[in-house]
């Protein structure tokens, strides 16, 4: 980070140490602070990966649950009286949702499973 910001590490850490006059104690102090920062970054990265993994698992569960619900419904709405405007609108919306869901959900499910596998591999 120091190179990207064109500044010294001691300035980033809030130290007022001159780089020419660094002694062993100052270097140890800076290295300890850098170690703490690296551990914080690692924890944050693990937490982010864990959150993404749980979101992907939740998405897979939702997709499976909706598929089960659609199978249980067995397109019953197709036998509704479409002369009634309310049932016609509801039936059309359900049919549109089912049409799109059945076509796109398998791809989303596969990508989610791949994402879950990749988040476990990074550990």
What average pLDDT does this structure show over 99-121?
Answer: 93
Q: What is the pTM of this model?
A: 0.67
**pLDDT for position 60:** 97
**pLDDT for position 18:** 55
pLDDT digits (tens, 9 = 90+) for 48-93: 999 999 999 999 999 999 999 999 988 888 888 888 898 899 989 9
Q: How many CA atoms lie within 13 A of 107 on its CB side?
A: 5
What average pLDDT does this structure show over 10-16?
Answer: 66
Spatial distance between the Cα atoms of 43 and 68, rounded to a whole number of angstroms: 37
What average pLDDT does this structure show over 16-34?
Answer: 69
**Torsion over CA: 37, 40, 42, 45 (sign):** negative
Q: What average pLDDT does the structure give for the chain?
A: 84
Token pair belonging to 6: 């064109």
**pLDDT for position 102:** 92
**If pLDDT is split at 50, 70 and 90, which confidence band does 34 have?**
confident
**Torsion over CA: 8, 13, 19, 24 (sign):** negative
Token pair belonging to 68: 């089960």
């Amino acid at each position: 980070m120091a190179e990207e910001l064109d500044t010294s590490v001691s300035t980033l850490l809030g130290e007022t140490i001159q780089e020419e006059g660094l002694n062993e104690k100052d270097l140890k102090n800076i290295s300890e602070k850098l170690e703490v920062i690296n551990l914080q970054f690692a924890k944050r990265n693990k937490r982010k990966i864990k959150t993404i993994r749980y979101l992907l698992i939740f998405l897979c569960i939702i997709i499976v649950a909706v598929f089960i619900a659609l199978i249980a419904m067995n397109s019953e709405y197709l036998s509704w009286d479409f002369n009634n405007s309310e049932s016609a609108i509801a039936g059309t919306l359900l049919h549109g949702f089912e049409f799109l869901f059945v076509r796109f959900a398998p791809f989303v499910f596969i990508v989610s499973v791949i994402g879950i596998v990749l988040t476990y591999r990074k550990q």
